[in-house]
């Protein structure tokens, strides 16, 4: 089990992991509040200013799986994997326009989740349940894939075992995560995000300087990578398959690339964890300032994506694209710095996994259990149930990794974006117009969910894209267009019928906390 362990890298890894564990437990005392209140435990009391929110959202959205999967996709297929960069750029104008309005409405009415807003806006408990169900369903595999990223770096440290023992380090790490999340709530990932983001920046800056220097510069990297990609494309054509690999996009990839970027941007801030990070801000101005400054992470993501091309040029050979970057780090860096990089990636799993479990727990408590099982829950019981659910969600994610194939978890996470975008019409339309009917939006959601799932796993499917009229598009965009059309047509038939708790002034900046 420990025969091949890189002890130097492992000791550095354990040191930084121990540091963030201490930080996670100490966080309960930071910006102290009554953690028996759900808004304190699950939203940090809505007191995170622009600076803290910047680190929290960055740590929440740019995950360990991002550092592993995005360059891994670049390693496997080339330019198509770069879609993650434009989509993270498109997100921030949406945040700037949409999220301050949502924050104002949720703050005024005491809403803690996106589904809370849906219930108040449309007066339809079944639409609220649909939104909550979608968020929880899509979040579970997302948490599981944080574990995939962590497991890859543990394997890269040289820890080798078979059977259940192979998951022992991962299980220990997630027990620790579960304990300090239970104790400190959202304050724990918010504080750890400072450490995580600084470490990721150091890792990426070092990588884009040192690795190109060792490989003869970026010109040499791109030339060698192009030869490898061209050879893969030629082999695919010879086997009668599409040439979907290349240093630049093939003509057939342009519309899939564009629609995947747009659809992913529409879906990301519908996730419970993204809304949790946003609604924990101290006010709409803090959100706007972050929408302006968070594109710095998109720059870093672009550099992270290039690590996949560097892995190709460095002759990294693996059939598992998820392992490409850990192998590159081991090859290019001394042991002590490899341990630092692996710690940065693993800590990068802890922050989003914590926020995701909190977001899912808040959603279950507020929008499933309370309205349908126990309407008279006390605030203290709300907080207790959310804490308990955050543990259950983590255990569920761990079970997925231990007992199900990783490929299954990856497919579910890809489908998660298709599911989450189906919330976009109800949530965003509700912030700008009072016209839509809640039942119409519910039926539109159902059509979008069924259509998206069918196109993803149906008999003629290709993962993430579906061909219509001779051109392929991202299935999430196709499904949400169907969702929107059905919602519009049925609203015209049914008319607006909900009792709306919100007013026009709820969306204005009554609070100007920075």
Name the domain count of the chain.
1
State the CB neighbour count (10 A cutoff) for residue 492: 11
Give the SS3 label for residue 430: helix
Task: List the domain range (segments joined by +) for residue 248.
Answer: 7-409
Is 446 contained in some domain? no
pLDDT in tens, 227-247: 998 888 888 888 777 767 888
Is 443 contained in some domain? no
Is 421 contained in some domain? no
Q: Is 481 exposed, middle or buried (0-12, 13-18, 19+ CB in 10 A)?
A: middle
Is 124 contained in some domain? yes
pLDDT in tens, 154-167: 888 887 656 555 66
Selected residue with higher pLDDT from 193 and 314? 314
CATH of residue 62: 1.20.1730.10
> For the residues 187-197, what does the mean pLDDT come to?
85
Cβ atoms 504, 276 nearer than 8 A: no
Nearest-angstrom CA–CA distance, 108 and 116: 12
Give the SS3 label for residue 60: helix
Residue 480: the pLDDT is 96
| Rg of the chain on CA atoms, in Å | 23
Look at 98-112, 279-293, 464-478 and tell me which has the smallest mean pLDDT.
464-478
Is 436 contained in some domain? no
> For the residues 93-112, what does the mean pLDDT come to?
90
Is 115 contained in some domain? yes
Nearest-angstrom CA–CA distance, 462 and 254: 16
- Is residue 456 predicted with pLDDT exceeding 50? yes
Can you give the pTM of this predicted structure? 0.89
Nearest-angstrom CA–CA distance, 246 and 325: 19
Q: Which range is most confident: 22-26, 133-137, 444-448? A: 444-448
Q: Which residues contact 473 (CB under 8 A, 6 or more apart)?
A: 255, 256, 259, 465, 466
Query: Which residues share a beta bridge with 473?
Result: 466
List helix spans (H) across 3-79. 7-26, 38-43, 50-61, 64-77
Residue 409: the pLDDT is 58
Return the structure tokens found at 317: 């050979």
Q: Which of 269, 427, 276, 268 shows the shortest CA–CA distance to 357?
A: 276
Cβ atoms 140, 56 nearer than 8 A: no
Residue 288: the pLDDT is 92
Residue 412: the pLDDT is 67
- Is residue 442 predicted with pLDDT exceeding 90? yes
Give the SS3 label for residue 496: coil
- Count H helices and E strands in the chain, helices first: 22, 2
Residue 52: the pLDDT is 85
Selected residue with higher pLDDT from 46 and 192? 192
For residue 157, give Cα distances in angstroms to 317, 325, 346: 17, 13, 12
Return the structure tokens found at 397: 């994610």
Is 502 contained in some domain? no
Cβ atoms 479, 418 nearer than 8 A: yes
Mean pLDDT of the chain: 85
Is 250 contained in some domain? yes
Selected residue with higher pLDDT from 131 and 148? 131
- Is residue 513 predicted with pLDDT exceeding 90? no
Return the structure tokens found at 476: 């999430």
């Amino acid at each position: 089990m420990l025969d091949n362990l890189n002890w130097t890298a492992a000791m550095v890894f354990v040191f930084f992991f121990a540091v963030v564990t201490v930080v996670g437990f100490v966080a309960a005392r930071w910006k102290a509040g009554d953690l028996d209140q759900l808004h304190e435990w699950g939203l940090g009391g809505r007191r995170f200013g622009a600076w803290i929110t910047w680190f929290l959202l960055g740590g929440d959205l740019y995950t360990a799986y991002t550092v592993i999967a995005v360059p891994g996709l670049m390693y496997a297929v080339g330019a198509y994997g770069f879609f993650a960069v434009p989509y993270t750029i498109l997100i921030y104008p949406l945040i700037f326009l949409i999220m301050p309005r949502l924050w104002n409405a949720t703050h005024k009415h005491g809403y803690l989740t996106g589904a809370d807003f849906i219930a108040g806006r449309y007066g339809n408990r079944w639409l609220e349940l649909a939104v909550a169900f979608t968020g929880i369903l899509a979040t579970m595999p997302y948490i599981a894939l944080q574990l995939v990223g962590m497991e890859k770096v543990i394997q890269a440290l040289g820890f080798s075992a078979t059977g259940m023992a192979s998951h022992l380090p991962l299980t220990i790490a997630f027990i620790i995560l579960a304990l300090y999340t239970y104790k400190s709530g959202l304050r724990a990932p918010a504080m750890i995000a400072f450490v995580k983001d600084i470490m990721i920046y150091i890792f990426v800056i070092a990588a884009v300087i040192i690795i190109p220097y060792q490989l003869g510069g970026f010109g040499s990297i791109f030339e060698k990578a192009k030869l490898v990609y061209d050879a893969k494309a030629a082999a695919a054509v010879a086997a009668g398959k599409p040439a979907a690999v290349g240093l630049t996009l093939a003509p057939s990839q342009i519309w899939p690339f564009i629609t995947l970027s747009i659809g992913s941007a529409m879906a990301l801030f519908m996730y419970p964890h993204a809304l949790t990070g946003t609604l924990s801000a101290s006010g709409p101005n803090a959100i706007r300032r972050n929408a302006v400054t968070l594109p710095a992470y998109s720059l870093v993501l672009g550099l992270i994506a290039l690590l996949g091309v560097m892995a190709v040029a460095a002759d990294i050979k693996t059939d598992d694209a998820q392992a490409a970057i850990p192998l590159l780090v081991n090859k290019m860096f001394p042991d002590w710095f490899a341990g630092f990089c692996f710690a940065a990636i693993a800590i990068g799993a802890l922050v989003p996994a914590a926020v995701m479990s909190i977001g899912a727990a808040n959603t279950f408590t507020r929008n499933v259990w309370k309205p349908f099982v126990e309407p008279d829950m006390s605030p203290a019981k709300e907080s207790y149930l959310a804490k308990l659910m955050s543990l259950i969600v983590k255990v569920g994610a761990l079970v997925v990794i231990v007992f199900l194939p990783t490929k299954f978890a990856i497919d579910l996470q890809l489908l998660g974006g298709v599911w989450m975008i189906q919330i976009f019409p109800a949530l965003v339309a509700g912030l700008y117009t009072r016209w839509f009917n809640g039942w119409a939006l519910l039926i539109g959601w159902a059509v979008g969910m069924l259509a998206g799932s069918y196109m993803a796993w149906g008999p003629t499917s290709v993962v993430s894209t579906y061909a219509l009229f001779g051109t392929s598009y991202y299935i999430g965009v196709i499904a949400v267009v169907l969702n929107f059309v059905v919602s519009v047509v049925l609203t015209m038939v049914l008319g607006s019928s909900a009792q709306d708790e919100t007013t026009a002034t709820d969306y204005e900046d009554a609070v100007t906390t920075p």
